[in-house]
Amino acid sequence: MAVPKQKQSHARTNKRRSQHKISAPSIQACPQCHSPRRPHRVCPTCGTYAGRDVIVANAGDDAA
């Protein structure tokens, strides 16, 4: 198994780690209500996905 001959410096380690950052999540506009939502997910505002109603948003309090 390969073993490093010398200790890697802090600068070299930090240079390598600078590429490992979290990217911001991609946001798209919902085609129905135009509110921001994540792609390939149900819209949290209107409850539609791929042009169909998946979740009835704010349906009322009938399940009491």
pLDDT digits (tens, 9 = 90+) for 2-21: 999 999 999 999 999 998 88
> What's residue 21's pLDDT?
86
Q: Does the pTM of the predicted model rise above 0.75?
A: no
Supply 29's token pair: 């506009």
Q: 58 near 44, Cβ under 8 Å?
A: no
Is 53 within the bounds of a domain?
A: yes
Q: Residue 61: which pLDDT band, with cuts at 50, 70 and 90?
A: low
Name the residue among 31, 56, 20 with its Cα closest to residue 39. 31
| SS3 assignment, position 14 | helix
Is there a domain that residue 10 lies in? no
The answer to whether residues 59 and 47 touch, using CB atoms and an 8 Å cutoff, is no
In total, how many domains does the chain have? 1
* pLDDT 10s digits, 44-59: 999 999 988 888 756 5
pLDDT given for residue 22 in this prediction: 87
C-alpha–C-alpha distance, residues 62 and 60, integer Å? 6
